[in-house]
Structure 1
Amino acid sequence: MNKKNIIAIGLALMLAVSAVGCTTEEVETEEATVDQTVENTEVDEQTPPEIGEVPQDGDRMPSDGAQMPTGGNPMAGGIAADTTPVEGSLLDTADMFTDRDLEQTADLDGAEYISLASGSDVNIVEEGVYVLSGQAEDVTVVVEVDDEAKVQIVLDGVSITNEDSPAIYVKSGDKVFVTTTDSDNYMEVSGTYEADGDTNLDAVVFSKSDLVLNGTGRLEVVSAEGNGITSKDDLKITGGEYAITSSLDGLEANDSIRIYDGYISIVTDKDALHSENDDDDALGYIYIQNGTLNITAADDAIRGTSAVQVDGGTINIETCTEGIEGTYVQINGGEIDIYSTDDGINAARKSTAYSVVIEVNDGDINVTMASGDTDGFDSNGSIYLNGGTINVNTSGSSYDADGTVELNGGTVMVNGEVVTEITQEQMGGKGKHGR
């Protein structure tokens, strides 16, 4: 990487900004408000640029990669989903998202405006809001702040193309928000990632802290040799549009992946959503409350090693090895369409914190299986079908469980025919479950 040009914004600048009426950011209720300082490439100290301008770099979308929607922004009208927990929820969803997580626009009072320049990193060292714009190569936005600090990065028509380093790298902090304005934004890493000491960087957006993606615009991420977006803590998406093309996982998190709303399109050579924690069996879960997901995955589409809970939204899995996989899989709503070459929905022992169960309480689920030794629903434990509409299209087994299979409610179909009980003829040979 080229030698970095670093420009510090000192105390004098902060006082000057304060003198003309700028204020610090209002943050979540439990946060302290602090002064904002940034070491960066170039700061516009005059009139801020117009919000919503896009990079003039032509069509960046790979023809075979993840595609943006053709309709309007799903979050353009503001917060779209209800945060009330569903009855019988497996996960404690009451505090999944803070008010600030759900805000789709940033408070720009006191924000710093930064124009990107090729070869010059942006080093953020103080809590605050930073509005980025421009097209550049060989640039990493590095966040290294106090453990209690929160940073909001506003993407306002940004294009970053790197060879071996993330476009955004969060080294420290309590939480980082990446918020899109009503603009098109593009980030790509074309080669193999270089490690940062003992830290194995592996994604275009890489965070050691909690990461929240939201906004009213669009972000395309291309990772030729790694993940699209990685968080070593929680990864949340609450709004905006995302097209992710990756050779490894599209979205990866250690503690959890939480989706409140937004449009997410992922094309990946591995898992589309992957959450796994080697140290705490209760973590490594995935929660989907709403939004639209379009997934093409060479391996699993949605894999939470402890649990996966779907309360709503639209999930279209065009192809995968396994569609939804976890130790406990609970579906309480939503429209889910899966085409799978192994198991459509799979519960396998990946965690000791949960029982091995597939539970469907509501929703519209359609599972289509490839030919061969496949199962529509496959559980090392039990399967409970309590509600919703379920159709499994398969020439193999529709339901396969080591424990019990209970049909307690809902409309259940196998190859389009309504069934009122799960018979042995619909069950596959026991013993082939998960991986």
Structure 2
Amino acid sequence: MKKRRIILLWLFAGMLLVPGCTLKNAEASSENQSDTATNSEEQTVNDISEMFTDRDKEIGYDEEDSALITLADNGTLCDSDAVQISENTVTITEEGTYILSGTLSNGMIIVDAEDTDKIQIVLNGVEITSAQSAAIYVRSADKVFLTTASGSDNILTNGGTYTTIDDNNIDAVIFSKDDLTLNGAGTLRIKAGAGHGVVSKDDLVLTSGTYDIIAASHGLSGKDSVRILSGTFTITSGKDGIHASNTDDSSLGFVYLADGSFKITAQDDGIHADSSTTILGGEIEIAQSYEGIEGLSIDITGGNISVTASDDGLNAAGGNDSSGFEGTGGDQFAATEGAYIHISGGVIHVNSEGDGIDSNGDLTVSGGDTFISGPVNDGNGALDYNGGAVISGG
């Protein structure tokens, strides 16, 4: 733990008290703030358009042009040549839209298509339990869109073990080797007796829908990224609630939250990214965690955020937890390259037993309302940083 702290820092810049100049400078400041706000809003719109495609957000489908799959133990029915049925294993092999309904008490859906194929799977009242593997497994595709039908309630469950069926280490109720998007106007309940709730080995994107996830390990996990546009999420996890990690490319492994409603209870981090964590808005309640929000860098521009943590509330590039960083090594006061926390908006409440806000690099607060309470251990403080610190607003 680093021991350099801010107790209170006030920075006053550009305050000219010369008669006749004060109003002019105030007007210029107001104009600059307005320009900055406009530029920030435009940048946010641009960022969102880069993070989410129109197809990611599309939840509609044409039932007449879709293949209907009716699930039943040893009696699944489908008249499409692109669907192979072997007892309770259903394999989708070609691009298209597939509407699923019914129940498998011990079975799975496999996507095994060409790496150029885009596939939409619509869940319309589905309950699938896989005793020893994933309920839905994307072995090969360009991208899969998993859509919950409007008003539908769907349940996917793993029984507590994973048996090897190929070269991939399947360890989630929904496991994808390729890009995966979840959306819809229904509800998806995921129960992982072992492993994770949802895993993508590329990008994991969620743009709409209601999700109730209980997982022994991570709730949502993406190798390249986890990107959430909107939705309602209740996540209870044995490790991280939302997790992104890429050890091959330091620019990937990021979390991007544009909006949504989140209630996260984790034994490890509430939100963890190996690279950047970006929060633009939403209602986020991390009711229990080791560290609340973690990333090499953390940018918060909006949202209503509540964090309860047994260690640090917000942590940039650090942590002793099993999924976190391994620390900087050497000089404990040295700044970590690329590490920072920047808060420019939102309402943030942190109740932590460690540091409230802990940056192994720079700390900047330029807006928002931040409330920190609870550091009780020796060596912990409300604010802790290793680089430079500027509080210019908020």
Normalised TM-score (structure 1): 0.72
Question: Counterpart of 1:79?
Answer: none
Question: Counterpart of 1:196?
Answer: 165
Q: 1:161 to 1:255 in 2, by over 3 A?
A: same
Question: Counterpart of 1:404?
Answer: 388
- 1:212 corresponds to which of 178, 181, 185: 181
Secondary structure of 2:55 counterpart: helix
Larger relative helix fraction? 2
Once the 2 structures are TM-superposed, how far is the Cα of residue 92 of structure 1 from its aligned partner? Answer: 4.6
Structure 2 residue 366 is matched with structure 1 residue 366: no
Q: 1:127 to 1:334 in 2, by over 3 A?
A: same
Question: Counterpart of 1:308?
Answer: 277
Once the 2 structures are TM-superposed, how far is the Cα of residue 94 of structure 1 from its aligned partner? Answer: 3.3
**1:377 partner letter:** I
What per-residue deviation string (whole Å, max 9, x for no partner) do you get for residues 297-328 of structure 1? 00001001100000011110001000110001
Question: Counterpart of 1:378?
Answer: 358
Secondary structure of 2:313 counterpart: strand
What CA distance in whole angstroms lies between the structure 2 residues aligned with 1:404 and 1:254? 31
- 1:257 corresponds to which of 208, 226, 229: 226
**2:357 partner letter:** F
Decide whether the 8 Å contact of 1:270 with 1:297 is kept in 2. yes
Structure 2 residue 67 is matched with structure 1 residue 99: no
Question: Counterpart of 1:117?
Answer: 72
Where do residues 38-57 of structure 1 align in structure 2 (5 Å cutoff)? Answer: none
What per-residue deviation string (whole Å, max 9, x for no partner) do you get for residues 374-414 of structure 1? 1000011111001001000124410011112211101xxxx
**1:117 partner letter:** A
Question: Counterpart of 1:54?
Answer: none
Q: 1:86 to 1:302 in 2, by over 3 A?
A: farther
Question: Counterpart of 1:245?
Answer: 214
What CA distance in whole angstroms lies between the structure 1 residues aligned with 2:42 and 2:54? 22
Question: Counterpart of 2:115?
Answer: 147
Question: Counterpart of 2:242?
Answer: 273
Once the 2 structures are TM-superposed, how far is the Cα of residue 104 of structure 1 from its aligned partner? Answer: 2.4
What per-residue deviation string (whole Å, max 9, x for no partner) do you get for residues 29-53 of structure 1? xxxxxxxxxxxxxxxxxxxxxxxxx
Secondary structure of 1:321 counterpart: coil
Secondary structure of 1:375 counterpart: coil
Once the 2 structures are TM-superposed, how far is the Cα of residue 281 of structure 1 from its aligned partner? Answer: 0.5
What CA distance in whole angstroms lies between the structure 2 residues aligned with 1:395 and 1:164? 43
What CA distance in whole angstroms lies between the structure 2 residues aligned with 1:164 and 1:191? 7
Question: Counterpart of 2:4?
Answer: none
Q: 1:207 to 1:354 in 2, by over 3 A?
A: farther
**2:200 partner letter:** S
Structure 2 residue 190 is matched with structure 1 residue 221: yes
**2:233 partner letter:** I
**1:363 partner letter:** G
Question: Counterpart of 1:287?
Answer: 256
Decide whether the 8 Å contact of 2:108 with 2:129 is kept in 1. no
Q: 1:408 to 1:85 in 2, by over 3 A?
A: closer
What CA distance in whole angstroms lies between the structure 2 residues aligned with 1:157 and 1:92? 34
Residue ranges of structure 1 left out of the alignment (5+ in a row): 1-83, 411-435
What per-residue deviation string (whole Å, max 9, x for no partner) do you get for residues 199-227 of structure 1? 11000000001100000000100001110
What CA distance in whole angstroms lies between the structure 2 residues aligned with 1:178 and 1:92? 23
What CA distance in whole angstroms lies between the structure 2 residues aligned with 1:169 and 1:322? 31
**1:407 partner letter:** I
**% identity of equivalent residues:** 43
Question: Counterpart of 2:369?
Answer: 389
What CA distance in whole angstroms lies between the structure 2 residues aligned with 1:108 and 1:279? 41
What CA distance in whole angstroms lies between the structure 1 residues aligned with 2:164 and 2:252? 26
Equivalent pairs, count? 324
Decide whether the 8 Å contact of 1:86 with 1:311 is kept in 2. no
**1:151 partner letter:** I
What CA distance in whole angstroms lies between the structure 1 residues aligned with 2:55 and 2:269? 31
Secondary structure of 2:60 counterpart: coil
Once the 2 structures are TM-superposed, how far is the Cα of residue 145 of structure 1 from its aligned partner? Answer: 0.8
Once the 2 structures are TM-superposed, how far is the Cα of residue 117 of structure 1 from its aligned partner? Answer: 2.1
Question: Counterpart of 2:308?
Answer: 339
Secondary structure of 1:95 counterpart: helix
Structure 2 residue 95 is matched with structure 1 residue 127: yes
Question: Counterpart of 1:299?
Answer: 268
Once the 2 structures are TM-superposed, how far is the Cα of residue 109 of structure 1 from its aligned partner? Answer: 3.7
Secondary structure of 1:138 counterpart: coil
What CA distance in whole angstroms lies between the structure 2 residues aligned with 1:281 and 1:253? 14
Decide whether the 8 Å contact of 1:307 with 1:354 is kept in 2. no
Q: 1:276 to 1:333 in 2, by over 3 A?
A: same
Residue ranges of structure 2 left out of the alignment (5+ in a row): 1-38, 74-86, 319-324, 329-335
What CA distance in whole angstroms lies between the structure 2 residues aligned with 1:87 and 1:356? 25
Secondary structure of 1:363 counterpart: strand
Question: Counterpart of 1:60?
Answer: none
Secondary structure of 2:63 counterpart: coil
What per-residue deviation string (whole Å, max 9, x for no partner) do you get for residues 324-380 of structure 1? 10001000111100011100000016599971000001011010123xxx1000011
Decide whether the 8 Å contact of 1:328 with 1:354 is kept in 2. no
Question: Counterpart of 2:338?
Answer: 355
Where do residues 32-43 of structure 1 align in structure 2 (5 Å cutoff)? Answer: none
Decide whether the 8 Å contact of 1:206 with 1:229 is kept in 2. yes
Q: 1:88 to 1:325 in 2, by over 3 A?
A: farther
What CA distance in whole angstroms lies between the structure 1 residues aligned with 2:362 and 2:372? 17
**2:340 partner letter:** V
